[in-house]
């Protein structure tokens, strides 16, 4: 779409710009919908939406990435149905805002996103949160309610039974800091990371599609484990409540797959706490070991990795100066996150790229993980 055509929809009225970042989860994978702990960071990569008034009463949403325009009558948004399309993330949010009591007004929304889709860096939450801010256009909303609202849009409209981590970190991210989130009570604390460490994400270029993957199945398997464990401890509401001792007590009653899914979640929650403690002590070696333990648990117990991701992890931890590596995100492709000494970064870039290209004939994309700020309004571009 040409800029001239787009400007004709708004007659050159002043634009407002809203942004929401993607994220890398340092540790705590698939624990959020089990009401456990996660430790993500917001990224510089973000979804940015430029909003201008509409001159003809229409709501238009244009995706620069897809080069596609959709439009609606604002009065029809409440009856909009899922289309299996990128616009579902925005329209799902609009419907939830309506249910909460906010009116959706005519406007023109131009979406530009630097968060690669299917990479495990949460492009969907970045789009949801930036869309919500664009629809609100400065109207107040509690930040926790904003995260809940965007999560509901993905669960109930898009149809993905996700936890709240991605939307939460997109809102509460802070520069140079990780955020430990308690996904049950939705409290958080900011966690300073050691200064003498660098984090890099490596995009395998294997695009996962959580909606078409075994994500829902993992949610169901965890729920099945909880139902059996309740026979031993009726107070258990989620795997967050299960201790290693309780899991050992119930182990022989659990089918193999729910047992291994539960073991991943229970051990991963413990790893988050251990990682935060190691970070406070600047114990980079311990942090790296926890990275690798987390990946092996995802690889073998939760079974959400893939050959390309395992290859990247195995090669990364063999490179001098690397403390640890693990898959990050929903799984079945996407990115690894790698922790290393700062002076190892250049050598790591060269070695991991060459070995991956040689093995898979694909060039991986390397992304510096610099914890960034959360969502908000930017100056017009």
pLDDT > 70 fraction of the chain, expressed in percent and rounded: 94
Distance CA 53, CA 70 (A): 16
Residues annotated catalytic, as ranges: 166
Query: 143 and 186 in contact (C-beta within 8 Å)?
Result: no
Tens digits of per-residue pLDDT, 340-358? 999 999 999 999 999 999 9
pLDDT at 3 over 90: no
Q: What is the DSSP string of 271-337?
A: HHHHHHHHHHTT-HHHHHHHHHHHHHHHHHTS----HHHHHHHHHHTTSTTEEEEEEESSSSSSEEE
Tens digits of per-residue pLDDT, 39-98? 999 999 999 999 999 999 999 999 999 999 999 999 999 999 999 999 999 999 999 999
Query: 52 and 380 in contact (C-beta within 8 Å)?
Result: no
Distance CA 177, CA 173 (A): 8
CA atoms within 13 A on the CB side of 309: 28
Q: For residue 211, what pLDDT is reported?
A: 42
Lowest mean pLDDT among 81-85, 189-193, 373-377: 81-85
Q: For residue 120, what pLDDT is reported?
A: 84
For residues 8-21, average pLDDT: 80
Distance CA 376, CA 99 (A): 22
Please calculate the CA angle 358-362-363 and round it to the nearest 5 degrees.
Answer: 95
pLDDT at 12 over 90: no
Tens digits of per-residue pLDDT, 312-345? 999 999 999 999 999 999 888 999 999 999 999 9
| Average per-residue pLDDT for the chain | 94
């Amino acid at each position: 779409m040409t800029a001239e055509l787009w400007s004709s929809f708004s007659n050159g009225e002043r634009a407002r710009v809203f942004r929401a970042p993607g994220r890398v989860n340092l540790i705590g994978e698939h624990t959020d919908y089990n009401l456990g702990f996660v430790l993500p960071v917001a990224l510089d990569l973000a979804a940015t939406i430029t909003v201008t008034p509409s001159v003809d009463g229409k709501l238009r949403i244009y995706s620069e990435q897809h080069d596609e325009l959709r439009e609606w009558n604002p009065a029809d948004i409440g009856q909009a149905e899922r289309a299996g399309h990128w616009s579902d993330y925005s329209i799902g949010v609009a419907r939830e805002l309506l249910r909460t009591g906010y009116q959706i007004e005519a406007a023109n929304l131009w979406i530009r996103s630097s968060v690669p889709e299917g990479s495990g860096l949460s492009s969907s939450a970045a789009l949801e949160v930036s869309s919500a801010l664009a629809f609100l256009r400065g109207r107040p909303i509690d930040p926790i309610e904003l995260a809940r609202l965007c999560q509901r849009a993905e669960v109930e409209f898009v149809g993905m039974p996700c936890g709240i981590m991605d939307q939460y970190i997109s809102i509460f991210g802070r520069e140079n800091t990780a955020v430990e989130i308690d996904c049950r009570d939705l409290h958080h604390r900011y966690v300073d990371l050691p200064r003498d460490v660098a984090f890099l994400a490596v995009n395998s270029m294997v695009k996962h599609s959580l909606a078409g993957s075994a994500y829902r199945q993992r949610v169901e398997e965890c729920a099945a484990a909880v139902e059996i464990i309740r026979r031993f401890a009726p107070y258990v509401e989620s795997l967050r409540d299960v201790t290693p001792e309780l899991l050992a007590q119930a182990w022989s009653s659990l089918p193999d797959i729910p047992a291994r899914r539960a073991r991943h979640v229970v051990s991963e929650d413990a790893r988050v706490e251990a990682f935060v403690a190691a970070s406070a002590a600047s114990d980079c070696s311990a942090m790296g070991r926890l990275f690798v333990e987390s990946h092996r648990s995802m690889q073998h117990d939760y079974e959400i990795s893939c050959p390309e991701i395992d290859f990247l992890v195995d090669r990364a931890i063999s490179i001098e100066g690397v403390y640890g590596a693990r898959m990050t995100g929903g799984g079945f492709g996407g990115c690894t996150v790698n922790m290393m000494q700062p002076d190892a970064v250049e050598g790591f870039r060269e070695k991991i790229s060459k070995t991956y290209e040689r093995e898979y004939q694909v060039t991986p994309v390397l992304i510096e993980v610099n914890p960034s700020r959360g969502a908000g309004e930017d100056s017009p571009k």
